[in-house]
Amino acid sequence: MTAEPLMRVRLRVEQDVFVVRQLGREVARAVGLESQDQTRVATALSEVGRVLLAAGRHADVTFTVEPIGVPTLHVAMVHPVTGEAARLTGQLQHVGRLVDTMEVDDGETGTIVRMARRLPLGAPRLTPDRMDEIREGLARHVPGTPLDELAVQNQQLIAALDEVRAQRDDLARLNAELEETNRGVMALYNQLSEELEETNRGVVALYAELDEKSAQLGAASEAKSRFLANVSHELRAPVTAIIGLGRLLTDSGSDDLTVEQRRQVDLIRGSATDLLTLVNDLLDLAKAEAGRIEPNWSDVDLRAVFGQLRGTLRPLATRPGVDFTVDEPGVPTLRSDEVLLAQVLRNLLTNAIKFTEAGSVRLSVRRVGDDAEFVVTDTGTGIPQELQERIFEEFYQVPGSKPVSGKGTGLGLPYARRLAGILGGALRVDSTPGEGSTFTLRLPVAS
């Protein structure tokens, strides 16, 4: 729906251009456009009016305000000669910049120039009453002479010049500020670059130190493994000899010993056997740490491995209140080293049997994705949360934890974890003190 026009006026002679210019400013002011926009609209009208009059007999101007949506002032100027749109568009190109939109069309009654300028957001609302008021005001408007209009134009020019000067001053001030800021930014940048360079130097030095330290650490760990391997190797022969000699002394073929002598020889043999276990464990661990264990990969039949563990460990699990179970394997075969795998499982099961007074010890295996998961659960003493990583350190034993049976060296778990790594998997523990522990060995099914 098009709103009722605010005003219509016809341009016939050149003087009317001044009239339409004044009217344009009046309408623009009345609908709420700001002073500069009033001048823009007035100038656009007089320019279009001038061009249209030069091209033909007369031109009709209609002012309308569209109050719905974004309130906008529309001006339509109709020139009674048709087919002029293309030519006029070229001539009026510069006017388009003064308004929001300008179109030149060929209509049935002539060429139509349409212009629109949006009203500012804060403009007073254009109610029907206000529109009537504006209409009445415009009808009463008495146009001034061209001289009056010239005076108004001069004033506007002076105001525009003032504004341009103020803008130039503002620009100069802004430029100065910008230069100052730039200088500040440059100084900050330089300072930051220097700090960064310094930090970088520090980081580089730190890394060099770190490399050196890790090389030292590697060398120390290698030396330790070598030392352990050598010492254990050297100790094995004499310790084995002590055990042998002890056995010889207590043999039935030897001279009879007194009861006290026999007791002491047994003690020596017992200690020597413990020492041999420790030496053997140390040698195993040292070999694993030195990377001297090469797995012998084959398709391992888990039924056989489980059967053997069941057979060899049952004699250890003699406590009547403990139910020792080795399940049927849920994974038939896997690519691994049979001896090393059995060694890990044996260590875990012996520990479970050692630390379980009553309840159950159980071994099972199931497939999880591409892995086989071996689980050894027990209902034994359990391990406090904060020590669950420490038990994988060499010689570490949970303080106050006494095995229900047997002894220990504190080397079984570190060795088991090493072997798990060598076999391409991992070993972890979950445990609750007083309830029991679960050790989980995860190995790839296909190596």
Note the residues at the interface with ligand ADP (CB under 6 A). 351-352, 355, 378, 380-383, 391, 396-398, 401, 408-413, 437
In the complex, minimum distance from the CB of residue 401 to ligand ADP, in angstroms, rounded to a whole number: 4
Task: Report the C-alpha gap between 153 and 14 in whole angstroms.
Answer: 17
Task: Report the C-alpha gap between 216 and 399 in whole angstroms.
Answer: 32
DSSP secondary structure string for all residues of 112-126: EEEEEEEPPTTSPP-
Q: How many CB atoms lie within 10 A of CB 240?
A: 13
Nearest CA-CA partner of 151 in 327, 317, 22 = 22
Nearest CA-CA partner of 323 in 378, 269, 280, 284 = 378
Residue nearest to ligand ADP (CB): 408
Alpha-carbon separation of residue 78 from 58, 109, 195, 309, 366 (angstroms): 9, 8, 71, 107, 91
In the complex, minimum distance from the CB of residue 397 to ligand ADP, in angstroms, rounded to a whole number: 3
Cβ neighbours of residue 107 closer than 8 Å, sequence gap 6 or more:
78, 82
Task: Report the C-alpha gap between 102 and 95 in whole angstroms.
Answer: 8
In the complex, minimum distance from the CB of residue 380 to ligand ADP, in angstroms, rounded to a whole number: 4
Residue 301: phi and psi, rounded to 5, are -85, 105
In the complex, minimum distance from the CB of residue 302 to ligand ADP, in angstroms, rounded to a whole number: 22
In the complex, minimum distance from the CB of residue 343 to ligand ADP, in angstroms, rounded to a whole number: 12
In the complex, minimum distance from the CB of residue 391 to ligand ADP, in angstroms, rounded to a whole number: 4
Task: Report the C-alpha gap between 349 and 343 in whole angstroms.
Answer: 10
Q: Which is nearer to ligand ADP, 117 or 418 (CB)?
A: 418
- Contact (CB, 8 A) for 374 and 345: yes
Q: Which is nearer to ligand ADP, 22 or 437 (CB)?
A: 437
Q: Which is nearer to ligand ADP, 153 or 438 (CB)?
A: 438
Q: Which is nearer to ligand ADP, 266 or 394 (CB)?
A: 394
Q: Which is nearer to ligand ADP, 22 or 431 (CB)?
A: 431
In the complex, minimum distance from the CB of residue 305 to ligand ADP, in angstroms, rounded to a whole number: 20
- Please give the sequence-ordered ranges of beta strands (E in DSSP) within 90-176, or none if there are none: 101-106, 111-118
Q: Which is nearer to ligand ADP, 49 or 436 (CB)?
A: 436
Q: Which is nearer to ligand ADP, 7 or 322 (CB)?
A: 322
Task: Report the C-alpha gap between 363 and 385 in whole angstroms.
Answer: 22
In the complex, minimum distance from the CB of residue 317 to ligand ADP, in angstroms, rounded to a whole number: 13
Q: Which is nearer to ligand ADP, 49 or 412 (CB)?
A: 412
- Residue 64, classed as helix, strand or coil, is strand
Q: Which is nearer to ligand ADP, 66 or 323 (CB)?
A: 323
Cβ neighbours of residue 46 closer than 8 Å, sequence gap 6 or more:
17, 18, 20, 21, 24
Q: Which is nearer to ligand ADP, 225 or 381 (CB)?
A: 381
DSSP secondary structure string for all residues of 207-233: HHHHHHHHHHHHHHHHHHHHHHHHHHH
Q: Which pairing describes strands 436-444 and 371-378: parallel, antiparallel, or unpaired? A: antiparallel
Residue 430: phi and psi, rounded to 5, are -125, 135
In the complex, minimum distance from the CB of residue 191 to ligand ADP, in angstroms, rounded to a whole number: 56
In the complex, minimum distance from the CB of residue 400 to ligand ADP, in angstroms, rounded to a whole number: 9
In the complex, minimum distance from the CB of residue 385 to ligand ADP, in angstroms, rounded to a whole number: 13
Q: Which is nearer to ligand ADP, 249 or 422 (CB)?
A: 422
CA dihedral 271, 276, 282, 284 (to 10 degrees): -150
